[in-house]
């Protein structure tokens, strides 16, 4: 193998740049040429390429976002899109591809990997951390810490005015961010898509907490909670308790910012592992980290299997919120 391509796709995640850097610099060890594919799969289909060298990725490890750009590309979900991508890669002499992104990103390349001659190794990067086959995806740790900083600030004002706050964090399908942020931020309740939200019980908890003398009440709500958005939940509580409340949606600030040390290290390890895997002629896998060890998971499983959540943390919130 002489030439490989790297791209970032889907929602950007802090640490993507550190990962591209690791791919480029580890590829140099194998004397592999690296092509940066801009704007995700769109850039692949439109041949939006730039050459990357160890020097051109200098000063990127600390930067949020992705300097290659990203996109969600509908065309890559079609047979025509895959065929076109294979043709482009063949014509450019790109023999290996490293897509960095979430499960949607990998869904796009399962067929491409099966087409045969182009080797594909994926790297998980999504703040949602909902990819099967890795304990942590690149970007999750930074997003959790960003949301945590915000919640600590909200607590200051909530405590001063004895207020009830509903804070929405990201997580379209899963509640991993909400769970970690809720525990670390000392939330009174955490609402996630994985568990049914009982409004009556939530109201009971809120009333009890204030009766116990708590100065504030913070409810962390995952964006994808099955009870609806944070505003619906807050409204339903208000209808029952008639308690003054405030809603804060943290939104896309969770996606930006300089990656934490943990994300930079994970990005560096996974970037290196992906290049090693390609150099060993492996294909059709995602490199992840499970219990501290690099693990290869078939790409297909990353988007068909459901990642397990540590349910004991939800129990812990209840205990700690007393
Ligand atoms: O990257 C994952 C994610 O941040 C989800 O948590 C969120 O629902 C979604 O992306 C938002 O996507 P967009 O940037 O397209 O609004």
CA distance 260 to 245: 32
Question: Sheet harboring 217-222: ordered strands across?
Answer: 189-191, 217-222, 164-169, 245-249
Q: What is the mean pLDDT of the chain?
A: 96
Which one is catalytic: 12, 48, 117, 128? 128
Per-residue model confidence as pLDDT tens digits over 116-143 = 789 999 999 999 999 999 999 999 999 9
Residue 171 Cβ < 6 Å to ligand 1: yes
pLDDT, tens digit (0-9, with 9 covering 90-100), for 264-316: 999 999 999 999 999 999 999 999 999 999 999 999 999 899 999 998 998 99
Query: Is the CB of 170 within 6 Å of ligand 1?
Result: yes
Q: Kindly report the backbone phi and psi dihedral angles of residue 187, in degrees, each rounded to the nearest multiple of 5, phi listed first.
A: -65, 155
Residue 319, domain member (yes or no): no
Nearby residues of 230 by Cβ (< 8 Å), 6 or more positions away: 166, 167, 168, 221, 223, 247, 249
Residues 181 and 288 in one domain: no
What pLDDT is recorded for position 311?
86
- Phi, psi angles (nearest 5°) of residue 25: -75, -35
Q: In ligand 1, which atom is closest to the CA atom of 11?
A: 1
Nearest to 44 by CA among 108, 74, 88, 80: 88
Q: State whether 89 and 171 are in the same domain.
A: no
Residue 39 within any structural domain of the chain: yes
What are the pLDDT digits (tens) for 190-223?
999 999 999 999 999 999 999 999 999 999 999 9
Q: How many domains does the chain have?
A: 2
Strands 285-290 and 119-124, sheet pairing: parallel
Per-residue pLDDT of 14-35, as tens digits, reads 999 999 999 999 999 999 999 9
pLDDT value of position 294: 98
Query: Once rounded to an integer, what is the mean pLDDT over residues 76-93?
Result: 94
Query: What pLDDT, in 10s, does the model give residues 218-259?
Result: 999 999 999 988 999 999 999 999 999 999 999 999 999 999
17 & 131 share domain: yes
Pocket probe for ligand 1: among 10, 11, 129, the residue whose CB has the most ligand atoms within 8 Å is: 11
Q: Please state, as a whole number, how many other Cβ atoms lie within 10 Å of the Cβ of residue 29.
A: 12
Q: 315 in a domain, yes or no? A: no
Query: Are 37 and 170 in the same domain?
Result: no
Does residue 122 share a domain with residue 25?
yes
- Whether 42 is covered by a domain: the verdict is yes
> Is there a single domain that holds both residue 36 and residue 133?
yes
User: How far apart are alpha carbons 53 and 55 in whole angstroms?
Assistant: 5
Ligand 1 pocket member 126 (CB < 6 A)? yes
Domain assignment present for 313:
no
Q: What is the pTM of this model?
A: 0.97
Q: How confident is the model at residue 260 (pLDDT cuts 50, 70, 90)?
A: very high
Paired with 220 in beta bridges are 167, 190
Whether residue 57 sits in one domain with residue 41: yes
> In this structure, which long-range contacts are made by residues 238-241, counting pairs with CB atoms below 8 Å and at least 24 apart in sequence?
240/199, 240/200, 240/203, 241/203, 241/206, 241/207
Closest C-alpha residue for ligand 1 atom 10 = 11
Domain interval for residue 238: 142-255
Query: In this structure, are 166 and 71 located in the same domain?
Result: no
Q: Are residues 91 and 193 in the same domain?
A: no
């Amino acid at each position: 193998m002489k030439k490989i391509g790297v791209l970032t796709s889907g929602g950007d995640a802090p640490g993507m740049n550190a990962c591209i850097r690791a791919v480029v610099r580890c590829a140099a060890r194998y004397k592999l040429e690296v092509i940066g594919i801009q704007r995700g799969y769109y850039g692949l289909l439109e041949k939006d390429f730039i050459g990357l060298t160890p020097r051109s990725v200098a000063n990127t490890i600390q930067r949020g976002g992705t300097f290659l750009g990203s996109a969600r590309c509908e065309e890559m979900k079609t047979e025509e899109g895959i065929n076109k991508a294979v043709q482009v890669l063949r014509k450019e002499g790109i023999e290996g591809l490293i897509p960095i992104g979430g499960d949607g990103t990998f869904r796009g390349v399962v067929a491409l990997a099966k087409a045969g001659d182009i080797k594909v190794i994926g790297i998980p990067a999504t703040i949602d951390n909902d990819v099967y086959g890795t304990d942590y995806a690149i970007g999750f740790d930074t997003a959790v810490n960003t949301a945590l900083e915000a919640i600590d600030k909200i607590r200051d004002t909530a405590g001063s005015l004895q207020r009830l706050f509903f804070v929405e964090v990201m997580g379209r399908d899963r509640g991993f961010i909400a769970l970690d942020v809720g525990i670390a931020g000392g939330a009174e309740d955490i609402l996630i898509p994985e568990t049914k939200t009982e409004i009556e019980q939530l109201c009971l908890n809120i009333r009890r907490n204030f009766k116990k003398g708590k100065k504030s009440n913070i409810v962390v709500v995952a964006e994808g909670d099955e009870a609806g958005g944070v505003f619906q939940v807050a409204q339903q509580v208000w209808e029952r308790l008639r308690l003054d409340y405030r809603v804060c949606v943290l939104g896309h600030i969770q996606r930006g910012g300089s990656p934490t040390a943990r994300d930079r290290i994970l990005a560096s390890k996974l970037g290196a592992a992906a290049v090693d895997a390609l150099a060993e002629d492996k294909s059709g896998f995602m490199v992840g980290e499970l219990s501290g060890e690099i693990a290869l998971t078939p790409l297909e499983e990353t988007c068909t299997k459901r990642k397990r959540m540590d349910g004991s943390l939800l129990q812990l919130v209840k205990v700690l919120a007393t």
